[in-house]
Amino acid sequence: MKEQTCEILVSGIVQGIGYRPFVYNLAVELGINGNVMNLGDAGVRILVQGKIEIIKEFIEDLKSRKPKLCVYDSFQVKWDTFPPNFDRFEISKSSSEKTGIGFSYLPPDISICTSCLKEIDSNDSRRSSYPFNSCVDCGPRYTVIESIPYDRPNTVMTEFPFCSDCEDDYTNSKDRRFHAQTTCCLNCGPVYSLFSNKGKKVPISDQRELVKFLTEEIENGKIVAVKGIGGTHLACSTINDEVLLKLREAKGKRKYKPFAIMAKDLDAIGKFTEINSEEKDLLTSFRKPIVLLQRSVDYYLSDWVAPGLHNIGVMLPYAGIHYMLLKEMKEPTLVMTSANPSNYPMYIDNQEIMNKLHYVDYFLLHNRIIYQRNDDSVIRINKLGNQTSNKFLRRSRGWVPEPILSHVDIGKQTLLGIGAEMHLIPSLMKGSKVIPTQHIGTVTLIETFEYMLDAIEHLLKLYNTKIDAIAYDLHPQYLTSTSIDEINERFESKESVAFQHHEVHIASVALENRINPEEEVIGVALDGTGYGTDGKVWGGEIFKGKIFDLERVGHIEEYSLPGGDIAVKYPMRSLLSLLTHEYSNDEIMEITKRLHNYLPKGKEEVQFVLSQLERNDFSPSFKTTSSGRFLDAVSTYLNICGEQTYEGEPAIRLEGHSLQSLKKDNFPSISIPYKQYNGKYILNISKVFPQIEEAQNNYSSSQLGYAVQESLGYALGELCNEVSEKTGIQKILISGGVSLNSIIINKLVKNIDSRNKFFTNEKVSPGDGGISAGQVYLLALKKLGFLT
């Protein structure tokens, strides 16, 4: 029978996951000749020749037996496109050509696999105790690649030529390192070296002995900088108060901000947290994120790991060095917190690490370049009525550069959503795919601004594209807004469009839930800060309408922010503003006298702020409808937290403190009424304070806090039901950083009428980390003619 030929073009996640070795071995197994090659758009071309029945079986096996991380975006088969001329099957040299179909992208950095860990553990393996052990199924991807196609010369591994043994592994089709680009060993790959606080190299070259020495030092109270896959961690004991306080003091603005920790295994985590099956699945996935877990009654770690909080961020080892460190530790946990100061990019250069971190005792550094920084992802699982939902606090390592699929297609254009200011993660859009970058952070410093631009440029380089238009935040003072002309020039963009912050939050939910842009929705946007179209600070908003034409139909009652950002740091100022809605100045002085010390100048400052409020001569930017600032004020009033030392702290501690009350079976009855005023619904949040005052002798602060947060969720749910009943709109979209609050969001969705359906963020953060995805989606709708 005459042999036939076939060309197969595939796109999706088909590079960096062992796809070519899989294709090769399948072809050899079936006796097919031809070749497979990586292409310059991250796709793959397969040319095969053989009997038609065998080729058809080959095609079916490509689909049914594909590698576990493989995702097909497009799978195109063309018959008899070339004459039969192959006498074997081979992996051909990669080409800069493109498939011209679908959309291809690289996999994220993948945590070390079980097989590689076994080799690290085995004395018989030549990779015994080698921290950079990896194979086709695991290891860094996004942090090491410089350009596509994904081949060793296009990664930082080009600086580490194969030794003869590793080359044998790489070319052996039966080996799991067959064409694995990060293949290396102690003889040819990167290695760790240890340096003292003075920068002097510690004379230990054996990797296992080096780790043993270091773990003893950590257990003796030392702090160590550990360079990893995408950045540098600071490692120290989780049970030593003294060293934790030393670390907090050294990091400057880390007075109470929680530290993430790494635990040896699930058994270790179970000794200090309450952990369910969904959380276990997340922790043990190849992505290995930090997961926020509820502290258990048996919690034994230092309170200085996460002061005043009900939960703790925990991750499992995802790199060989992590596994080796925890294997040698007597204590099965380590603090593993980012080494960079707040708002600065992660440290990745060895000299910079040693120059900037003068307070650490040792530096554990390797000699492989980190081409792209990539911070740890952070997730919590919230209960939403009768279901649970994964919520990103930070989407980065383990997910980047995976795209989010939109249901609108912008064709050959490339759009950029730049984000807002805090928790920044820009997003590109190509075709129907939205591609967020790694977590950048809060962009108020030039160093972080440049990091943001570099991250965007890297994505553009990987996808060989240029930006046609940019979406940014309406806030006139964000660095991303004031520098929009510079950003346009840098990327040769032809257009830039500003979008309102909270409308964008709602758009991000519509994007990831693939809601028809022509369909009307109700939107609930809850956060701390967002510039409104009236120049005021919004943050407790209700919208209705089509996603590209939302109308603000309600909000939290407006109050003043005396001092602006000073009121954010000291929420006593916001509290005083809210109290003036219900009390006279004399009454306020009396009921807040126990709280006066929350302001730097005490009683004198309270009197000054009240006089300011009495004059009421604040500019629009000092007026707010923020739900986040309201929760901060409640936290202060209940004497839980009266100073913000990290973003969102008073509200976060209010939630944690309030959850303690779940062990009790009675709560005060607190309600938030709402009314229509000038055609808009207004939630009268100030009404909670007289109710707290009346109930505080009979209930604990945790019970009162829980009741207030539930009342906000309940009132929002009731308001949504009323808007739905009047308009017939049955889809309710909920977003914003405050929607991470489990008490509020759970009560809100429980109170939504059963005929209505709610939608939230799961693929991007509901906080400002998801803003760029909503921005680029609205820009896409504008380009497609939905928005003028």
Reduce the DSSP state of residue 758 to 3 states and report it: strand
Q: Which tokens hold the place of 23? A: 């294709």
Q: Which tokens hold the place of 595? A: 């709280």
Nearest one of 426, 421, 508 to 761, comparing CA atoms:
508
612 Cβ contact list (under 8 Å, min separation 6): 562, 618
Q: Which of 20, 368, 373, 397 is catalytic?
A: 20
Interatomic CA distance for residues 353 and 340, integer angstroms = 9
The total of other beta-carbon atoms located within 10 Å of residue 437's CB is 27
If you count them, how many residues does the chain have?
Answer: 788
Could you write out the DSSP letters of every residue in 518-559?
TSEEEEEEEEEEEE-TTSSEEEEEEEEEETTEEEEEEEEPPE
Which phi and psi angles does 516 have, rounded to 5°?
Answer: -55, 125
Under a CB-based contact definition with an 8 Å cutoff, are residues 243 and 251 in contact? no
Nearest one of 13, 24, 12, 2 to 79, comparing CA atoms:
2
- The verdict on whether omega for the bond into residue 108 sits within 30 degrees of 0, i.e. cis, is no
Which amino acid would we find at residue 233? Answer: H
Interatomic CA distance for residues 76 and 164, integer angstroms = 38
Q: Which tokens hold the place of 47? A: 């040319």
Helices (H) then strands (E): counts for the chain = 24, 31
Interatomic CA distance for residues 629 and 573, integer angstroms = 10
Which phi and psi angles does 726 have, rounded to 5°?
Answer: -80, -30
Q: Which tokens hold the place of 170? A: 């790489």
Q: Which tokens hold the place of 759? A: 């939608």
Reduce the DSSP state of residue 379 to 3 states and report it: strand
731 Cβ contact list (under 8 Å, min separation 6): 515, 519, 520, 521, 522, 756, 757, 758, 759
Measured CA distances, 535 to 372, 523, 619, 686 (Å): 37, 20, 9, 22
38 is catalytic: yes
Which amino acid would we find at residue 50? Answer: G
- The verdict on whether omega for the bond into residue 650 sits within 30 degrees of 0, i.e. cis, is no
Interatomic CA distance for residues 758 and 593, integer angstroms = 43
Q: Which of 35, 38, 133, 488 is catalytic?
A: 38
Nearest one of 126, 156, 180, 327 to 230, comparing CA atoms:
156
Nearest one of 755, 728, 711, 785 to 556, comparing CA atoms:
711
Under a CB-based contact definition with an 8 Å cutoff, are residues 364 and 227 in contact? yes
Interatomic CA distance for residues 761 and 770, integer angstroms = 8
Residues with a catalytic annotation lie at 20, 38
